[in-house]
Structures are given as structure tokens and as C-alpha cells.
Amino acid sequence: MGRHGLGKLAIQGGTPIRQKLLPYGRQLVDDDDIAAVVDVLRSDWLTTGPKIPEFEQAFAALTGSLEAVAVSSGTAALHAAMYAIDIKPGDEVIVPAITFAATANSVVFQGGRPIFVDVHPDTLLIDPEQVARHISTKTKAIIAVDYAGQPCDYDTLRKLADRYHVKLIADACHSLGGSYKGRPVGQLADLSTFSFHPVKHITTGEGGMISTNDAELARRMRVFRNHGITSDHRQREQQGSWFYEMVDLGYNYRLTDIQCALGLSQLRKLPAWVRRRQEIAWKYDAAFAEMPAVEPLRVREDVSHAYHLYVVRMDVAQLRTTRAEVFAALRAENIGVNVHYIPVHLHPFYRQRFGTGPGLCPVAEAAYQEVITLPIFPRMGEKDIEDVICAVKKVVGAYLR
Ligand SMILES: Cc1ncc(COP(=O)(O)O)c(C=O)c1O
């Protein structure tokens, strides 16, 4: 069906709006980033070296938290967080239905059960009322996901977490550089997790971080990322000792010095890059204000949105087609649209393992039928932004009732 519409529109509009695909996200790596990496490659320490604490301290300072623990991915960050708060078989952790699968998977890694709750229809952020409804005596934690880059309602979530004596975790993989009521993302929960995958705000190729004010949780995660061993190679070399003890079951979730050097160099540019993302988003907002079938997600007034993603809902009631067809038509224009996300409880793994399925989170399921992610990344030029707006106008115009 998608292919069909794609052809129709290409014919209707002549040549596609762009000759080459504009991706939905892309890293920006400059010469100074490359030089920082090369310096490490020439140094003594490729991993467990001095760049790790340097990156961690810079990250902690940026997020206004006491500690930051570097790990090998955002998924490893979530896993380390679930380990640190001692999630075990029999425990329940509340997660929103709209997120990347890794959020819920991290609970399962530890033997826990993710409890999927619905989201607000206008922001697609976890709905605190739904959280309250699903808390049970087995609940150990709530994972709030700052979907698209908009921080969740942390004051309300904190009250709930305190009332029921559960931990509050922020999956902030989308919201680095954002803030809530003037407080930076990274200090809004007991533990906040980040990803440095290339489409994210800063990249280390693959990589992740957990920020926290809790020194004991940070210590636990440092042991966890290193096989459950209490000292690393460099510490032992400095102490002239070979002795080490494995005190718990851990993983090799270490980030290398090569990656940390890249992360440090990228981190310096973060504020400018977030501002550029916001500028692009505001241009989209202004353009789509005149297109009733295209509804950007609502942004609350008490946040600074970091715009990892720019997501719109297509009001399919106003169109003679489906979201799938709009998606295919935009791709035919070489606009690299995407869909975030398939509600996690609809994935075969969760259906089979936990008996989830359609009807569990109706708001998320309805949103999934309508959302489209448009390209947004700092290197986008004015012409790229115009192309996206033109393509949306062209496609929506062709299908308007
Ligand atoms: C919300 C969310 N959580 C977790 C992750 C996992 O991060 P990573 O890909 O670095 O493992 C992602 C990555 O896409 C994400 O978007």
C-alpha cells in the first residue's frame, strides 16, 4: 500500500523535493573531535585510563549532579541503574508504553517485570495518574522517559515515588541539555540514564552515562560495569598490585578512553547544538501552525525541550489516507521520516513472556497510528528545513479531504 502512494505522489509532484535522502538524525564530528581521539590513540591508556573520570566529571558538572558513571551504551546505563537499585525477580518496575524497547528490557535483564502504563495523548510522556493506578506492593521503581527530549512532570512523579517508597529513574536518553522548572536534566531523578548513539545530542559512537547524587549507587554501578570487580586495571597498576576480587556478577560495560575523549570534545558543543535543535523545532512549529492536519506534540511551559526528535501527529481524520501512506510519500520525497515508537507491549517478546497486547495502553496505541518523526539535527541547514516543510505541505495537501 505504501509503495503505491509513493508512486502516485512522485508522479503528481514531478521530481522529488530532494535528490538525496535527508536522514532524521545525524552526528556532527569536527576536526577537533578527531584530534582529541587521535591524542588518546597515541597515549598509554586506550581504556580504564584518565579520560574516563575526566568525561564523568565534566558530565556531572554539566548536569549539576554529584556523580556520573560512564558505560558502553544507553542500554548498559539502564541495566546498571536497575542493578544499582537492586531489581530482582518478583519486582515490578513501571515503564511507559511509548519508548525504545531497551527501557523495559533493562527491567527484564534483572529478572523484574515491566508494568506498562499509558501516556498523555498530547505529549506522549508517562501519565502520572496511570502510574498511581498501577503501583502495587511489588513496585520497586518508576522509569520516566523524556520522550523526544521533553522532560516528564518530575515534581508529580517525585511525590508519587516518595509516597510509595519507590525509586524514580529518568531515562533521559532523549533529553540531554533540556531542563524542567529551570533544573537541568540529569538531576531530576534518583538516577538518570543517557545514550551517546550517533543520533543523540552528543556521540561516542556507542556509549552511555548515568548521573546521580547518590555516591553509593554510583559506586555499585562502577563495580557492575567492570565484571563486578572492585578495582580496575589502572588502579591495580598504580598500587603495584595484582590482587582483585569479584564481589558480584557484573558485565564488561566499560566505555573506552578513545570514546570518552570524543564525548568530552562533543560535550563542549552541547549547549549550541541544543539551541540549534530548538531553532529548527520552532521553525517547524510556525510552519505547521497553518496546517491543521499536522499536529506537533504539545510542549509544556515549565520545560526546555532538548528536541532529540521532532514528532508530529497526523490527524488522519482530516486525510484521505493512513499514516503509513503519508510516511511512504515523504520517503518518496527523500525526507528521512521515522516512527517512534511501536508501543513496547505490542512486541512479540512482551506478548509471549508477559501476556501483554492490544488494549493495554489505548492512548499509546492510538498515537502509534498517527505519529511521524521529522528530521532534526544540528547540522541541518535552512534549505533542509524548507525541504521538510515543503514536502509535508505537498503530501498533506495531496491527501487533504
Ligand atoms: C529512550 C531510550 N532509552 C534507551 C536507549 C538505548 O540507548 P543505546 O542505543 O545507547 O543502547 C535509547 C536509544 O535509542 C532510547 O531512545
The percentage of the chain sitting over the pLDDT mark of 90, rounded to a whole number, equals 91
pLDDT at residue number 106: 98
The percentage of the chain sitting over the pLDDT mark of 70, rounded to a whole number, equals 97
Q: Which residue has the higher pLDDT, 268 or 13?
A: 268
The Cα 288–Cα 312 span in angstroms is 9
| Mean predicted confidence (pLDDT) in 317-322 | 93
pLDDT at residue number 91: 98
pLDDT tens for residues 111-130? 999 999 999 999 999 999 99
Q: Which residue has the higher pLDDT, 72 or 290?
A: 72
Count Cβ atoms below 10 Å from residue 231 Cβ, excluding itself.
17
pLDDT at residue number 234: 80
pLDDT tens for residues 162-201? 999 999 999 999 999 999 999 999 999 999 999 999 999 9
Unique residue bearing C-alpha cell 510509595: 164
Our answer on whether the CB atom of 197 is closer than 6 Å to any ligand 1 atom is yes
Helices (H) and strands (E) in the chain, counts: 15, 13
Parallel/antiparallel/unpaired status of strands 191-195 and 183-184? unpaired
In order of 5, 79, 133, 260, 381, the CA distances from 116 in angstroms are 35, 18, 11, 34, 39
Residue 150 grid cell: 521533553
Which distant-in-sequence residues (6+ apart) come within 8 Å of 289 by Cβ? none
pLDDT at residue number 5: 52
**Is the pLDDT confidence value at 11 over 50?**
no
- Environment class of residue 176 by beta-carbon count within 10 Å: exposed (0-12), middle (13-18) or buried (19+)? buried
The Cα 153–Cα 62 span in angstroms is 21
**CA-based nearest residue to 17, from 400, 315, 336:** 336
pLDDT band at 4 (very low <50, low <70, confident <90, very high): very low
| Mean predicted confidence (pLDDT) in 53-62 | 98
**Is the pLDDT confidence value at 7 over 50?**
no
The verdict on whether 200 is a catalytic residue reads: yes
Our answer on whether the CB atom of 145 is closer than 6 Å to any ligand 1 atom is yes
The Cα 281–Cα 66 span in angstroms is 32
pLDDT band at 235 (very low <50, low <70, confident <90, very high): confident
Which of the listed residues 82, 119, 173, 203 should we mutate to test ligand 1's pocket, taking the one with most ligand atoms within 8 A of CB? 173
User: Using an 8 Å Cβ cutoff, are 71 and 248 in contact?
Assistant: no
Which of the listed residues 185, 195, 373 should we mutate to test ligand 1's pocket, taking the one with most ligand atoms within 8 A of CB? 195
User: Using an 8 Å Cβ cutoff, are 361 and 119 in contact?
Assistant: yes
Catalytically annotated residue among 51, 140, 167, 200: 200
| Mean predicted confidence (pLDDT) in 357-363 | 98
pLDDT at residue number 6: 52
Largest CA distance in the chain: 76
Count Cβ atoms below 10 Å from residue 296 Cβ, excluding itself.
16
Residue 187 grid cell: 538531576
Q: What global pTM score does this model have?
A: 0.96
**Is the pLDDT confidence value at 276 over 90?**
yes
User: Using an 8 Å Cβ cutoff, are 141 and 87 in contact?
Assistant: yes
The Cα 335–Cα 13 span in angstroms is 14
How high is the mean pLDDT of the chain? 95
pLDDT at residue number 126: 98
What are the DSSP E strand ranges found in 18-101? 67-71, 92-96
Unique residue bearing C-alpha cell 512549529: 285
